[in-house]
Amino acid sequence: MKVYNQDGKLRYDGIFENGNLINGKRYEYNINGLEFMTIQYDNGQYSKGEININGTIYIRGNFKENKFSEGYKKIFDNNNKLIYEGNLYDGKYHGKGKKYEKDGSWYDGEFNNNRFVRGVKKNVLIEDTESDYLWQREQWEIENLLDDKYQEYQEELLEEQMQEHIIGKQVYADLEYMENGIRIIESSKKVVDKYDIEYEHLFK
């Protein structure tokens, strides 16, 4: 049975019992009349679905007990900021995806049961010469990777911070996650000057 909206657009297509869609599809449209959501029903419950807004897919996958359980999904926080886009399984990050952190870094690779297992974490702050901050997670692995050449580089940074209005340096890099550990991708390193907050606006 097919059921149409007042504007002639298809709303339901399937088998009904007691006025409820049991097997078939439901279609939703935005205020401009463009289709943005399709839900597949099996035995009276959601089984598959897709939400596509202006050509961008936000959900595409399978449902279990009327809840999204497996497939592709974009997840946003309470401020509508994207925090994850990729595959999920049973409500957890699983498979290929990107996870965005509040500090501006992000994971790009493969997840297993919410744990990042393979790929690259990008734009990670690995050193701050003003506060002597060093990336804490797996810190011992990072320290083992800092060779003599990089130690000399650190000393040069400390000397340069004495320049007028420059109060420190920050070093950002990408980290590669592998089966046998984590390594700094040397070619990704970038150094950022830190200025006294009173003068910071002059250098932005």
Is the distance from CB of 123 to CB of 98 less than 8 angstroms? no
Rg (CA), the chain: 25
pLDDT in tens, 179-189: 888 999 989 98
Classified as helix, coil or strand, 151 is: helix
The amino acid sitting at 103 is D
34, 61, 76: which is the final residue of a domain?
76
168 is a domain residue: yes
92 is a domain residue: no
Q: Are residues 71 and 130 in the same domain?
A: no
Reading the chain (204 residues) residue by residue, the pLDDT tens digits are 999 999 999 999 999 999 999 999 999 999 888 899 999 999 999 999 999 988 889 999 999 888 889 999 999 998 999 999 999 998 899 999 999 999 999 999 999 999 999 999 999 998 887 654 444 434 444 555 555 555 565 566 555 544 445 667 888 999 999 988 899 998 998 988 766 554 444 444
Q: How far apart are CA 119 and CA 141, in angstroms?
A: 17
Q: How far apart are CA 147 and CA 134, in angstroms?
A: 15
Query: What is residue 153's predicted lDDT score, i.e. its pLDDT?
Result: 57
Q: Are residues 63 and 138 in the same domain?
A: no
Query: What is residue 162's predicted lDDT score, i.e. its pLDDT?
Result: 44
Average pLDDT, the chain: 83
94 is a domain residue: no
Q: Are residues 57 and 119 in the same domain?
A: no
134 is a domain residue: yes
Number of domains in the chain: 2
Classified as helix, coil or strand, 104 is: coil
Contacts of residue 29, Cβ cutoff 8 Å, sequence gap at least 6: 5, 9, 35, 36
16 is a domain residue: yes
Distances (CA, A) of 189 to 72, 127, 168, 170: 32, 11, 16, 10
Q: Are residues 71 and 107 in the same domain?
A: no
Query: What is residue 100's predicted lDDT score, i.e. its pLDDT?
Result: 97
Residue span of the structural domain in which 12 resides: 1-76
83 is a domain residue: no
58: Cα separation from own chain's centroid: 13
Q: Are residues 68 and 108 in the same domain?
A: no
42 is a domain residue: yes
Distances (CA, A) of 37 to 22, 106, 143, 164, 201: 18, 29, 49, 57, 46
Q: Are residues 36 and 113 in the same domain?
A: no
96 is a domain residue: no
Q: Are residues 61 and 109 in the same domain?
A: no
